[in-house]
Amino acid sequence: MDMTVYAVFFYIIAALIIVSAGMAITRKHMVHAVLYLVVSFLATALLFYLLGAPLLAVFQVIIYAGAIMVLFLFIVMMIRPAPAGERSLTAGRLAAAFGVCGIYVAAALVLAFMAAPEAGRPMAAAAASPFAFGFYLFDRHWLAVEMVSLLLLVALIGALHLGRAGRRNQSERKEPL
């Protein structure tokens, strides 16, 4: 099997994503978890670029690795939860969780075996130019774009409301002290 440079890059990036995601989900300290997650998302951005989505790669960096993760860090630093405060699950819960994961793995394996034989050939490299991407997005999916914008507005208002509600409750709760 001959490996092109692209393929080498792909495996390196894939390993990076998996390792950093694995580190992220196992950290006790949440700041570490979020930082590993940032690495994972940056690697995903590289992967997007490799798979022919340059604009999406940029968005991934700006929105995901940039904005969303910074929000995470803010929240983590704001509420400063104790790193060792997490209780371990009961054995029954743990078994159930891994049972569910087992179902998922079984489904994935079945899907892999049922895959068509030609799926094993390498994909042709291609890239969507930002212009083509943007044009397609606003040509075919303008309604979805509007709906997403509405969703973001609702999220904004919801977050605002929740933030105020939390503060109000806190002040009420503290009053009798």
Partner 1 sequence: MLFQPVPEISLYLAWTAAVVPLAAFGAILVFFRRLPKTAAAISVAAAAVSLICAVCLLVRHWNMDAPLQSAVTWMASGEFEIAVGVLLDPLSLVMLVIVASIAFLVQVYSLGYMAGDAGYGRYFGFMSLFSWAMFGLVLAPNIVQVFIFWELVGLSSYLLIGFWFEKFSATRAGKKAFIMTRAGDTLFFWGWLILLVWGGTLSILELNSGAHGLSSAMTTAAALLVFGGIMGKSAQFPLMTWLPDAMEGPTPVSALLHSATMVAAGVFLMARLFGFFSQSDLAMAAAMAVGTLSMLLSATMAMVSRDIKQVWAYSTISQLGFMIMALAAGGYAAGIFHLTTHAGFKALLFLCAGVLIHAHETNDMFELGRAGARRMKAAMVCMTAGALALAGIWPFSGFFSKEAVMGALAGADNRLWLFCGLAGVFLTAHYTFRLIFIILFPRTEAAGGPGARHGSVSANAVMYAVLGLLTVFTLAAGFFAQGFEDFIRIHGGHAQEGHLASLAHIASPVLAVAGIVAAWMQFGSNASDQVGFAEKIGPVGRLFARRWYLDHVYAWITGRLLDRGIAEGCRRFENKVIEGALTMITGGVVFFGRMAAGWQRAMIQPKLMAAFAVMFGLILILLVV
Partner 2 sequence: MIVPYTHVMLLGAIVFLMGMICTLTRRNLMMIIVGLEIMLNAAAIVFVGAGLEFGQIEGQVMALFIVAVAAAEVSVGLAMVVCIYRQTQSLDPQCTEDSRCPAGTEKASEPASGP
List contacts with partner 1 (CB under 8 A): 93, 96-97, 99-100, 103-104, 106-107, 110-111, 114
Asked if residues 28 and 11 have their Cβ atoms less than 8 Å apart, the reply is no
By CB under 8 A, tell whether 95 contacts partner 2.
Answer: no
Which of 97, 11, 79, 86 has its CA nearest to residue 46? 11
By CB under 8 A, tell whether 18 contacts partner 2.
Answer: yes
Least distance from partner 1 to the Cβ atom of residue 114, Å: 7
State the binding partner of 29 from partner 1, partner 2, none, CB within 5 to 8 A by kind.
none
Asked if residues 149 and 137 have their Cβ atoms less than 8 Å apart, the reply is no
Least distance from partner 2 to the Cβ atom of residue 115, Å: 6
151 contact partners, CB below 8 Å, separation of at least 6? none
Which of 161, 129, 138 has its CA nearest to residue 58? 129
Could you say which of 12, 136, 142, 146 contacts partner 2 (CB under 8 A)? 136
Asked if residues 55 and 128 have their Cβ atoms less than 8 Å apart, the reply is yes
Could you say which of 12, 77, 106, 152 contacts partner 2 (CB under 8 A)? 152
State the binding partner of 106 from partner 1, partner 2, none, CB within 5 to 8 A by kind.
partner 1
CA pair distance 166, 164, nearest whole angstrom: 5
Least distance from partner 2 to the Cβ atom of residue 107, Å: 9
